[in-house]
Amino acid sequence: MAAWNDHSLLAAYQTAFGTPNTTDSDFVALHCERPEVKFEHELTELDLLTGQVGAAPERLVGRRSGSIRFAFPVEGLVSGYTGSEDPGDAAPAGEEVIPPWFCLIANALGSNMSVVSSNTNFWRGLGSSVSQYTENGVTAADTTTSVVKLDDSTPSNRVDVGQLIVTALSATDTAPQVGWVKTKATATPSTITLFEASVNAVADNDAHVYGTTTAYASSEITETAPITFRWVGANVVQCYDLEDSFCESFKISWESGAVPVCEFSYKFFNYQRNKLDGELEVPAAYNRIPQLIGSNNARATIDGSNRCGLENCEFSWAAGSLRVTKCHGSTNGISAVEVLAPRVRMAFSVLDGGTGDDVYDSAGSTANLGQYEWFSRLELAESISVGVYVGSQVGKILSMLIPNGRIVATPDVQFRDSSVAYGLQIEAAAYTADSTDTAETSADSPINSLGRVALG
């Protein structure tokens, strides 16, 4: 008998809770680490009279559930991406343009999941907000890093406010302009104003606007789709079906000098051993997001300015709770699961700048006696924006943004060697500063969304 030594993790979209996906061709292999799986039962222990000293009392076994955790090195768009394929379009060579991990992110955040009605559309990334490629869409009218000028109104109609925009002279150009669209005016030439200045400016009539995909926090968290996972081994009998799975949390690391990693945690509400659908599967190939260093156009911004001295850096999302609706007539006794009180967070530690940092009085003015910057921001409930960017080539670009955050806990005093640092916990707050003169709304785009992740 062969031991279960090797592993694949597959996932498929479910049309509804309690309806696990059983179509083999719908399952997509995930390029992740070996998952950590935990099976659970609801147990009730009664102190029954056993009639014998030391005999264990009976446990009454209730419904099944469990949890699964797995991590990805963050991937960009499909391997060999040239930019002419729009994210969300039909795959030109058999592989979808948007990587599977990102589709799971869009589903967890809510995004525009109401438009997804099939497994194909789920993995095509149609729940995210996608922009389209426009050849020679840039004009040379502006050379600033906070504005993108487009030739006419047509290219700007292919980009929505709230999305990531990427422009470059070619798909292999190592100095693309990357930023978040804050405002859009479609008068010729169309003017895109970025949320914060980009690393590069691309002002050339031969430059192109490249397609991007943006996952974002939205009210459509109510449309989160359940997932069926298959944890399989090399033998056909080595398979567990993990049904009705909902994301409890994910976090993306963004450490300086390191490749970002995304870790997911899911709760599933039923599981079965499946002796028909085991065997390993090779995942599709996607570009790897590079390490966050300056030569890859990486930077981390606080209130629009590049900030050094950051460590233990994470972007995360978590459900406050998963509320279940119990039903005697439903499989496993549950008819629905809802995601309640989700939160988007940034967390990092920042060095004390010593003599170069300010102290603030109770009115928020600089003083010689008062509160250090982060404590003052907490006490005065001041807003803070945090952005993360990396990528020096189209198809390998990642960005994350909280446009309006709040420090929500007393900064944690830490030491790096002997240097003082502060651990900050920032949660996304309401945000309404985006604007557009075209038809996109918060019902169908990331405009005014409070937390975003994007690939380009």
What average pLDDT score do residues 87-94 get? 77
C-alpha to C-alpha distance for 197 and 416, rounded to whole angstroms = 30
C-alpha to C-alpha distance for 244 and 228, rounded to whole angstroms = 6
Kindly tell me the burial class for residue 54, based on how many C-beta atoms sit within 10 Å of its own C-beta (0-12, 13-18, 19 or more).
exposed
Whether 284 and 250 have beta carbons less than 8 Å apart is answered as no
Whether 308 and 348 have beta carbons less than 8 Å apart is answered as no
Q: What is the dihedral of CA 124, 192, 453, 223, to 10 degrees?
A: -60
CA distances from 217 to 97, 199, 342, 389 (A): 22, 25, 9, 19
pLDDT of residue 154: 77
In this structure, what token pair is assigned to residue 393? 């080539």
What separation, in Å, do the N-terminal and C-terminal C-alpha atoms of the chain show?
47
C-alpha to C-alpha distance for 392 and 42, rounded to whole angstroms = 50
pLDDT of residue 429: 98
Whether 15 and 86 have beta carbons less than 8 Å apart is answered as no
Convert the pLDDT of each residue in 134-170 to its tens digit: 999 999 877 889 999 998 877 888 899 999 999 999 9
What average pLDDT score do residues 88-101 get? 85
Q: Which of 89, 59, 82, 181 lies closest to 446, judged by CA?
A: 181
Name the 3-class secondary structure at 238.
Answer: coil
Q: Which of 345, 344, 451, 336 lies closest to 399, judged by CA?
A: 451
pLDDT of residue 152: 80
Name the 3-class secondary structure at 312.
Answer: strand
Q: How many CB atoms lie within 10 A of CB 83?
A: 20
| pLDDT higher than 90, residue 132 | yes
- DSSP H or E stretch at residue 311: strand 310-318
Interstrand relation of 177-185 and 435-436 (parallel, antiparallel or unpaired): parallel
Whether 181 and 159 have beta carbons less than 8 Å apart is answered as yes
| pLDDT higher than 70, residue 48 | yes
pLDDT of residue 371: 93
| pLDDT higher than 80, residue 324 | yes
Whether 296 and 175 have beta carbons less than 8 Å apart is answered as no
C-alpha to C-alpha distance for 9 and 268, rounded to whole angstroms = 14
Q: How many CB atoms lie within 10 A of CB 332?
A: 17
Kindly tell me the burial class for residue 95, based on how many C-beta atoms sit within 10 Å of its own C-beta (0-12, 13-18, 19 or more).
middle
pTM: 0.95
> pLDDT grade, residue 353 (50/70/90)?
confident
CA distances from 308 to 194, 251, 302, 429 (A): 22, 21, 10, 24
Whether 177 and 142 have beta carbons less than 8 Å apart is answered as no
What average pLDDT score do residues 427-454 get? 96
Kindly tell me the burial class for residue 251, based on how many C-beta atoms sit within 10 Å of its own C-beta (0-12, 13-18, 19 or more).
middle
| pLDDT higher than 90, residue 18 | yes
> pLDDT grade, residue 93 (50/70/90)?
low
Convert the pLDDT of each residue in 102-114 to its tens digit: 999 999 999 999 9
| pLDDT higher than 90, residue 332 | no
CA distances from 272 to 10, 107, 231, 237, 355 (A): 15, 24, 11, 12, 61
Q: Which of 267, 387, 390 lies closest to 324, judged by CA?
A: 267
Q: What is the mean pLDDT of the chain?
A: 94
Q: Please indicate whether residue 333 or residue 271 has the higher confidence score (pLDDT).
A: 271
Least confident of 278-282, 293-297, 361-365: 361-365
CA distances from 373 to 99, 353, 363, 417, 424 (A): 39, 10, 12, 22, 12
Convert the pLDDT of each residue in 371-425 to its tens digit: 999 999 999 999 999 999 999 999 999 999 999 999 999 999 999 999 999 999 9
Convert the pLDDT of each residue in 167-221 to its tens digit: 999 999 999 999 999 999 988 888 999 999 999 999 899 999 999 999 999 999 9
- DSSP H or E stretch at residue 264: strand 261-273
pLDDT of residue 2: 80
| pLDDT higher than 90, residue 91 | no
> pLDDT grade, residue 1 (50/70/90)?
low
| pLDDT higher than 80, residue 270 | yes
C-alpha to C-alpha distance for 456 and 444, rounded to whole angstroms = 19
What the chain holds in terms of domains, given with CATH numbers, is: 8-45+60-129+223-292 (2.30.110), 147-216 (no CATH)
pLDDT of residue 92: 63
C-alpha to C-alpha distance for 432 and 198, rounded to whole angstroms = 21
In this structure, what token pair is assigned to residue 55? 């005999």
